Each structure stands twice: as structure tokens, then as C-alpha cells.
Structure 1
């Protein structure tokens, strides 16, 4: 289990990366939509997104829709690779293959 990426291994961050990994590379999702999908508070989601951003695992794009600020999130190339490695390691630990 020591080989599992500690940035991703936290339950909330694993849920976030898994949700973002279901999207095509470069495809983003708005913060409120991700919050709704994961049923997380804005503060909790923000805290975990910051850790993923600091690790270079997600890309954050801030823009405006009219006068309203909007944050879009996507899994970076590094993040996608880290998630794939995490899943491969997890399968190995569990003794399963895909």
C-alpha cells in the first residue's frame, strides 16, 4: 500500500480524480457541477482541489460567464498519468488485472 500515491489516495481526492478521469483529455467541468456530482461542500472541495493543483494533477481555469466568475477544472496530463498509475498499483495490491 506504500506505493499508492498519497495525493490521490485520500478518499475525497480519489473521488475527484476519478470523476475528472471519466472526461476526455482536456475536457473540463465547472466547479458547481463537480461539487454537485460529488456531493461535497464548496470549502471541502476547494481544499482538496488545491492539493491536487499544487501537485500538478489538475488544471484550473477561471473565467467569467457574463459578470459571474466561473472555475473550470480538468485533469492534467500529469494527473491522468498519476491516476492511471494509481489504479495500476491498486490492481496489483488487490491481485487483479484488467
Structure 2
């Protein structure tokens, strides 16, 4: 099933990055996806609104100050929605996918 909540390019890229890991650090996602903090935050918020990702704030083990780091992970529903979306894209691509 095609999912408009996932299909926007940055959301699709974020879901692709999160699908293969349990969780990812906000900073690492920012670097991998080449997004600004603001763009990544907006992308995460959109997927959170859909119930597809969650965030967790925790003290950083690498820092001596009190700042928290944010990690992002997909929910079970987010994983299912992403897998359905990818299947729908493959179906749309038809024979082109096999080439």
C-alpha cells in the first residue's frame, strides 16, 4: 500500500536508514542523510505524527556535560508501513524493477 506519510523524499530516506537498525543517533542521521538539524527534526516530527518513529533522549556517554542526545527508532507499525510502501513501489515499477 502506497503511504503518503512515508513517500516524501526525506521521510523515505530516513525510513530506509532506520529500517536496518534498532535505533540511530540524531547526529549520525543528520550526517548520513545530509540534512540540517531543522530539516531532520521536521522529518522526524512528520513520521512521529504518523506513529512510525519514536525518539528517546538520554545522557551522552561521550560527554561530560549534562546535555542529552536524541536517538530515533522505527515503531513496529512504522516498519510494517515502510515494507508495504516499498512493496507498492516495486509493484508500480513492474518489469523495470527486475531489470
Q: Does TM, normalized by the shorter one, top 0.5?
A: yes
Aligned to 1:48, which of 32, 43, 47?
43
State the partner residue of 2:75: 76
Q: Structure 1 residue 64: deviation in Å?
A: 1.6
Deviates more, 1:64-73 or 1:45-54: 64-73
Q: CA–CA distance in 1 between the matches of 2:7 and 2:42? A: 15
| Alignment gaps of 5+ in structure 2 | none
State the partner residue of 1:15: 13
Please report the TM-score for the alignment, with normalisation by the length of structure 1: 0.88
| Alignment gaps of 5+ in structure 1 | none
Task: Give CA deviations for 1:7-35 in whole Å, capped at 9, x if unaligned.
Answer: 10000000000000121xxx111100110
Q: Aligned-pair RMSD on alpha carbons? A: 1.5
Pick the structure with greater CA Rg: 2
Q: CA–CA distance in 2 between the matches of 1:69 and 1:59? A: 16
Q: CA–CA distance in 1 between the matches of 2:32 and 2:68? A: 20
- Spell out structure 1 runs of 4+ moving beyond 3 A: none
| Count of aligned pairs between the two proteins | 93
Q: Structure 1 residue 59: deviation in Å?
A: 1.5
Q: Does 1:35 align with 2:30?
A: yes
